[in-house]
Amino acid sequence: MVNATSLDVAVVGAGFVGSLVAIKAAELGLSVRAFDLQAEYPPRFRAEKLETDQYEGLERLGLIDLVEPRGSPLVDQVVVFRGKTRKVVRCTKHRGMDYQATVNRLRAHLKTLAPLSIGPISKVEDTRQGTRITDAEGDAWTARLAVTATGASAFMRNALALKPPAPGTMISTSIGFFVRPETSGDFCMEAFNAYPSRFVPGLQYATFFPVGNETRVNVFTCWPPAGSEARAFRRDPIASLRRYFPVLDDAVGPMALSSTPQLVTTEYYRQNTDHLTSTVLVGDEYQSVSPATGMGISKCVTDAEVLTGLLPQLVKDPSARLDLSAFYNDPRKQVVDEKAHSSWAWSNNVSTDRSMGMRFKIAKQSLKGMLVQ
């Protein structure tokens, strides 16, 4: 067996949450190495904006200035259209984000603090003595704590004997693209959300917001990705917007498509990690989120903050191992994980269940001002 280099912390997957954790661990003075398959994060459809709690979490981590594009405007109000009614929702610290550019900027910062190995890993072995990571060249590292953040890769599921999602649980399908006003100039409002003008099973809402000087549209549904509605939306998003959200033509004017539409489906899972002793799962590796709930980055930031709060124990005692249950059972983490799950269930139910019982629940929630926006 090849001798392994010792590390305090190994982070597998230098995406959003992996980069945050690796940066904070390195700032504490721990010996850290991050690993990723690719040198550059690719242009994937992921979170395209920051909500207030996410912005504030990144401020607390001291990393808000790394969010791209740097000049994206702060939005202070979102106009919400429900049928013909409109409501103005005030907000603070709410802004568009280019996910790929932001992750690449976080990585660039990470590389000033700790090494980042690029290339496939062949083995991850979780043991009581630490987690051993072996790359494709046979080089090996043993970490007191391994943090896996590969966004639920098949490789990590196999390596750590994690269960695949149970079939038949919740799904979420999102269609994303950029638009511009059909005629020249800007839209008359910066950020707006539209709910369908009539009940369309599975259709949730569309959100329009500025990312840099472009307008991004994300449409959230729980349609099956191969179903006729999702395929029609992807084929001609402008015609589908007109069909399902007719109020927008009058309220903001006609739009034209300015990018290729992307369609992504996610399904619900939360991993059971009871069998792991020195490996912790963070971000989408641990639990998936519905994009419709806008909670993915909240989970990433919470995971990074909670874990970072536990790392000083590793600094204090060079022979210590982390009690992983302190991470999974942290009340802040449990609240955000549970909210991500219940908001997903709620948004799917609202868009698929027309029963009187459900209508009563929706009316009750609206009164409480708790309707998922």
Ligand X SMILES: Cc1cc2nc3c(=O)[nH]c(=O)nc-3n(C[C@H](O)[C@H](O)[C@H](O)COP(=O)(O)OP(=O)(O)OC[C@H]3O[C@@H](n4cnc5c(N)ncnc54)[C@H](O)[C@@H]3O)c2cc1C
Binding site for ligand X (CB under 6 A): 12-18, 35-38, 41, 45-49, 103, 121, 149-151, 153, 155, 174, 264, 266, 283-285, 289, 291, 294-298, 300
Q: Could you tell me if 67 and 102 are in contact, meaning their C-beta atoms sit under 8 angstroms apart?
A: yes
84 or 332: CB nearest ligand X: 332
Question: With contact defined as beta carbons under 8 Å apart, do 24 and 308 qualify?
Answer: yes
Q: Smallest distance, Å, CB 351 to ligand X?
A: 17
- Residue 17 or residue 322: which is nearer to ligand X going by CB? 17
Find the shortest distance in angstroms from Cβ 325 to ligand X. Answer: 21
We find the least distance from the C-beta atom of residue 14 to ligand X, in angstroms, to be: 5
Among residues 235, 230, 212, the alpha carbon closest in space to that of 220 is found at 230
Token pair 């309220």 is found at 251
Least distance CB 184 / ligand X (angstroms): 29
For ligand X, give the closer residue by CB, 93 or 361: 93
SS (H, E, C) 188-210: CCCCEEEECCCCCCCEEEEEEEE
Q: CA torsion angle for 196, 181, 290, 70 (degrees, to 10)? A: -150
Distance between CA 116 and CA 33 in Å, rounded?
A: 6
The minimum distance between CB 299 and ligand X, in angstroms, equals 6
Task: Work out whether strand 192-195 and strand 203-211 pair parallel, antiparallel, or are unpaired.
Answer: antiparallel
The per-residue DSSP string of 127-192 comes to: ETTEEEEEETTS-EEEEEEEEE-SSS-HHHHHHTTPPPPPTTS-EEEEEEEEEEESSSS--SSS-E
Q: Which is nearer to ligand X, 40 or 353 (CB)?
A: 40
Q: How far is the CB of 207 from ligand X (least distance, A)?
A: 8
Residue 16 C-beta: closest distance to ligand X, Å: 4
**Helix, strand, or coil (residue 110):** helix
Tokens of 220: 């959230």
Closer CB to ligand X, 139 or 197, in the complex: 139
Structure tokens at 34: 């991050």
**Quick one: 315 or 342, whose CB is closer to ligand X?**
342
Nearest-10 Cα torsion for 119, 123, 127, 132? -40
Q: How many Cα atoms occupy the beta-carbon half-sphere of 333 within 13 Å?
A: 22
Cβ-based nearer residue to ligand X, 267 or 357? 267
Q: How far is the CB of 356 from ligand X (least distance, A)?
A: 32
Closer of 146 and 322 to ligand X (Cβ): 146
Instruction: Work out how close the CB of 36 gets to ligand X at its nearest, in angstroms, rounded to a whole number.
Output: 4
Complex with ligand X: residue 43 or 83, whichever CB lies closer: 43
Count of positions (residues) in the chain: 373
Bridge partners (DSSP) of residue 34 are 11, 116
Cβ closest to ligand X, residue 149 vs residue 160 = 149
Residues 6 or more apart whose CB falls under 8 angstroms from that of 319 comprise: none
**Smallest distance from ligand X to CB 154, Å:** 8
Residue nearest ligand X, Cβ-based: 15
The number of CA neighbours under 13 Å toward the Cβ of 148 is: 32
